[in-house]
């Protein structure tokens, strides 16, 4: 329990907070760009920092396979290895391993699986995941848990959440306490309110530095997700950060913040940067569309990223058509900056008591995007 968290202010269920780690402070609500393999794809780490990101997510599964946790530890930990001196959160590897259908075998002890790279066999368990995340020098270690897809029958989710809670206890026990480092529990329970309550209660008893809401954004749709978020966050301790894993689109994030969530991660801004998609306040733009061919305008009016500051849509369109890496670099930068600006606007709106106005404007802009040519 060595990560300090302050709730500075609340508006309704929404919270403005600060999370203190050995590598710096994270202002919440916060969005964490994903650096799967020890790099946020197509970005220099100093550029990621320049977008305003205060914490990155690293993937235990990918890093344990390549280059391996021992190598990262030998190189001084993930911060040093990848030249990122701000906080890092690592997932437990559980979610990725569970997704390897056919290649993995789950038991009470843990998961046997084959690497997607070379088929080599590995074993992950709460104890093993804690060890790896320790070697990576992760500031925020995530419990090893099981995540079931939605919808799933009640008894399937129940059996799964019960095992995940036993794994949570093992994770906490195996976690090595250090000042400025911490461990988050993960609430499961699918879309069953009583199982979410059961999970939250178990986690509270074990005691964590923060609490994630897991098992959402797995295909259930925004409406179903919000239904769960209408009750799930409040089941978790008020005085600890709440992290909604793998979420999401900008409107998912705004909706979740209004329901009391503090932290987010998602590959969407980076992945979209590689598929010509750009986020704007009026919705997404596909820069490959031929209507951008002679467009002088910046991608998004008012954005201060390098792409919007220095280039026309025509140029980015050209880069895309020519298959130039710079298109991916600039679009990724813009998208991460879009997400960070969104989070900064949310924090500012909380501070200035204008959250409702902000949210109304946000949804109005998005709706406008549907009816006008961006």
Residues that bind a copy of itself (CB under 8 A): 37-39, 41-44, 62, 66-67, 71, 74-75, 81-83, 293-294, 296, 306, 310-312, 314-315, 317-319, 321-322, 324-326, 328-329
User: Residue 135 or residue 317: which is nearer to a copy of itself going by CB?
Assistant: 317
CB of 63 to a copy of itself, least distance (A): 9
Q: Which is nearer to a copy of itself, 3 or 287 (CB)?
A: 287
Q: List the structure tokens of 78.
A: 């993930």
CB of 65 to a copy of itself, least distance (A): 10
C-beta separation of 3 from 87 below 8 A: no
Neighbouring-strand partners of residue 264: 31, 244
CB of 321 to a copy of itself, least distance (A): 6
Phi-psi region of 204 (alpha: psi -120 to 50; beta: other; left: phi over 0): alpha
**Phi and psi for 183 in degrees, rounded to 5?**
-130, 135
Tell the smallest beta-carbon distance from residue 41 to a copy of itself (Å).
6
Rounded distance, CA 330 to CA 339, Å?
Answer: 14
Q: How far is the CB of 81 from a copy of itself (least distance, A)?
A: 6
Tokens of 153: 């029958």
The SS3 call for residue 36 is coil
Looking at the Cβ atoms of 260 and 298, the one nearer to a copy of itself is 298
Distance of closest approach, residue 295 Cβ to a copy of itself, in angstroms? 10
Other beta carbons less than 10 A from residue 99's beta carbon? 15
The residue among 317 and 347 lying less far from a copy of itself, judged by its C-beta, is: 317
Catalytic residue numbers read 91, 265
Cα 39 from Cα 46, distance rounded (Å): 11
At 296, list the tokens: 């002088």
Q: DSSP per residue over 252-294, as a string?
A: HHHHHHHTT--EEE-SHHHHHHTTTEEEETTEEEETTSGGGTT
Q: Which is nearer to a copy of itself, 324 or 357 (CB)?
A: 324
- What does residue 287 show for φ and ψ, rounded to 5 degrees? -75, -10
Name the residue with tokens 């670099």. Answer: 329
- Of 160 and 320, nearer to a copy of itself (C-beta) is 320
CA 183 from chain centre, in angstroms, equals: 16
Q: Which string of DSSP letters, residue by residue, matches 122-186?
A: EEE-HHHHHHHHHHHT-SEEEPP-----SS--HHHHHHHHHHHHHHHHHHHHHPPP-TT-EEEEE
């Amino acid at each position: 329990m060595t990560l300090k968290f302050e709730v500075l202010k609340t508006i309704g269920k929404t919270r403005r907070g600060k999370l203190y780690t050995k590598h710096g402070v994270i202002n919440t609500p916060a969005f964490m760009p994903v650096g799967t393999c020890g790099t946020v794809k197509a970005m220099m780490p100093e550029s990621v920092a320049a977008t305003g990101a205060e914490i990155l997510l690293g993937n235990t599964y990918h890093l344990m396979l390549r280059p391996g946790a021992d190598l990262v530890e030998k190189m001084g930990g993930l911060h040093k290895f990848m030249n990122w001196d701000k906080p890092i959160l690592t997932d437990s590897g559980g979610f990725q391993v569970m997704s390897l259908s056919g290649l993995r075998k789950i038991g009470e002890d843990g998961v046997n699986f084959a690497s997607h790279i070379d088929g080599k066999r590995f074993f992950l368990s709460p104890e093993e995941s804690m060890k790896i995340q320790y070697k990576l020098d992760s500031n925020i270690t995530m419990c090893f848990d099981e995540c079931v897809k939605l919808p799933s029958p009640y008894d399937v989710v129940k059996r799964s959440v019960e095992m995940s809670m036993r794994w949570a206890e093992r994770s906490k026990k195996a976690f090595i306490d250090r000042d400025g480092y911490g461990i988050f529990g993960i609430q499961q329970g699918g879309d069953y309110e009583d199982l979410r309550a059961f999970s939250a209660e178990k986690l509270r008893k074990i005691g964590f530095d923060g609490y994630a809401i897991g098992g959402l954004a797995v295909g259930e749709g925004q409406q179903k997700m919000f239904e769960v978020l209408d009750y799930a966050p409040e089941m978790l301790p008020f005085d600890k950060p709440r992290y909604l894993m793998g979420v999401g689109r900008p409107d998912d994030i705004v909706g979740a913040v209004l329901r009391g969530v503090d932290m987010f991660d998602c590959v969407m801004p980076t992945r979209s940067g590689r598929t010509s998609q750009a986020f704007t306040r009026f919705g997404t733009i596909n820069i490959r569309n031929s209507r951008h061919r002679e467009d002088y305008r910046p991608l998004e009016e008012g954005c201060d990223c390098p792409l919007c500051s220095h280039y026309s849509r025509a140029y980015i369109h050209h880069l895309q058509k020519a298959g130039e890496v710079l298109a991916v670099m600039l679009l990724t930068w813009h998208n991460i900056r879009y997400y960070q600006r969104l989070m900064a606007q949310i924090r500012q709106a909380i501070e200035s008591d204008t959250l409702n106005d902000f949210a109304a404007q946000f949804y109005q802009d998005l709706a406008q995007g549907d009816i006008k040519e961006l």
